[in-house]
Amino acid sequence: MRNRRLLSFAGFALSMMLGVQSLTLPVVAEGETMALRLEVEQTELTVVSLADADAVIHGALYIENYSGICSMRIVVSSDEGITVENGGFSDPCYLEGRDEKRNVYNPYSEVHDVSNLVMWYGPTAADGVSYADTPVSDENAPFIEFDVRIPQGTAAGAYDIYLDQRSLTLESGKLFPLFKLHSEAGEYGDDLPSVDAIGCTITVKDTSAAEGILGDVNSDGKIDTVDAVRVLQFYNACHVMGDDVEEDYKEKLDALKPDVAFAVSDVNADSIRDTADAVLILRYYTHHDILNDNITWAELIGKQS
């Protein structure tokens, strides 16, 4: 996983900003750092779940402790093997009444040979608005949203999604930083807080090492109602009556092969073994043993999404 990189950027003197009566800067919590944080809705998959089809996971970028940045250039990138696609600004991403063309989410820039290039211009003193009125001041609201595609057959491993911090050299010889933020005046100084660029990781696990079959919790070679009951018993012991630490309750799934049972019981690969997994096991059993329909796990899970 990529380490968090602490980058220092600056703006002009805050006192000059505060001198504009119509413009109000957000209050930055003392000792906290402004952060651009990438997040995905699911962080773990299995090789088995990717055997028959691609997986697509929704993601977003959030801005924490917004400090009055009025423009930024960022690139959302990923490790080779997975793809960030279908990206765009969350609505609204700009101030009402401003020229939307100033804010660009480019899926692919031929000029710079990068994907997911974001150019955003926020409020200025001339707008006569408060920084607190902009969507980026809401830490619970996504700034941009995107999908992450994990292709069918992706190998086990950890795949990072991150903000690209390279500087490209243009044909003119000028450096073009892919990660750049500006203050109100578009200048560099010493008053703007440091900025954290926080990525995230999707892990593809190979549960075949446990020599188990996805959904066959009791390792009897069948996927049936008994397996679903084992998952429900585990859920009750761990998440209803227990402390939610799943590793401590593996024997509730199968006392003889707890590690195998634990690996194959999370059939939807959402990193929690619960009623959703039990229901999917029952549906798999119904399709295969009652309806004689050889539906795959990927197809079955896709019907639920």
Three-state SS letters, 150-176: ECCCCCCEEEEEEECCCEEECCCCCEE
What does the pLDDT look like over 1-12, one tens digit per residue?
A: 333 333 322 222
The lowest-confidence range among 32-41, 220-229, 235-244 is: 32-41
Query: Pick the residue with more confidence: 187 or 83?
Result: 83
Q: Would you state the pLDDT for residue 84?
A: 97
Least confident range of 16-25, 26-35, 264-273: 16-25
**Alpha-carbon gap, residue 120 to 251, rounded angstroms:** 52
Structure-model confidence comparison of residues 127 and 191, the more confident one: 127
Average per-residue pLDDT for the chain? 80
> 264 near 213, Cβ under 8 Å?
yes
State both tokens at 281: 């096991």
